[in-house]
Amino acid sequence: MQIFNGNSLDFEKGMLIPINKPYDWTSFDVVNKTRYLIKKKLNIKKIKVGHTGTLDPLATGVLIVCTGKATKIINELQNDDKEYIATIEFGATTPTLDRETKPDKLYEWKHITIENIEKVLNKFEGEIEQIPPIYSAIKINGKRAYKEARKGNIPEIKARKVNIYKISIKNFTLPELNIHVHCSKGTYIRSLARDIGFEMNSGAYLKDLIRIKSGNFSLNQTLELKDFENILNLM
């Protein structure tokens, strides 16, 4: 499939568009905006558009948008490994495991050391069982978990096997920890933040997340949505 480079409008034949997902946008927001821009440019009423792996609204980074016949390989691309830069905040937990909701419980964090962090991170490398967040798009009995959670119906979510190939520390300044994570599909970095906090005899939530790689696509290959729109207008 062709990767969008501003030289072709062959979106119906099939194209991959690497987008840097904006903060506070859902992945479907990006898909809908991309679809609208393409339909407007081509003066058509319908075109298939999808993405290859959901990013949480408060995350940014690599989101591969597929158009036309390229949507047939979405499942294949979803299986690709992912890489993230994550900032974890110790000392509190939140219901959504990130900054979308306010802290619901506070914890001590001054006892945490870099030596203990390194030991704990080693425990999470390899194949692990991870419980996804209650506020996630996972379906439980045909219903989205986050929708049930917002109604006050707390769904029971079973642990799932994921693979974390490598975790490395980029920066550590209490109460924050900045890490680079290379992992398999289906890994929730919000859950990883929660579990690291508990292992440190504290609490933690995900303060910031950037997906820097998805399969063969890196962050430096992505387009801002506004840039994509500007390129289309010039073609």
CB of 195 closer than 8 Å to CB of 130? yes
Q: How many CA atoms lie within 13 A of 161 on its CB side?
A: 2
Active site residue 10: no
C-beta of residue 81 within 8 angstroms of C-beta of residue 166? no
Q: What DSSP line would sit under 175-219, residue for residue?
A: TEEEEEEEE-TT--HHHHHHHHHHHTTS-EEEEEEEEEEETTEEG
Single out the catalytic residue among 10, 24, 29, 56: 56
User: What is d(CA 49, CA 147) in angstroms, rounded to the nearest whole number?
Assistant: 24
- Which backbone phi and psi does 20 adopt, to 5 degrees? -90, 100
φ, ψ dihedrals at 73, nearest 5°: -105, 15
Whole-number Å distance between alpha carbons of 8 and 10: 6
Inter-CA distances, 54 with 63, 87, 112, 153, 211, Å: 8, 19, 32, 23, 11
**Any idea which residue has 């996804």 for tokens?**
132
Query: What is the set of active-site residues?
Result: 56
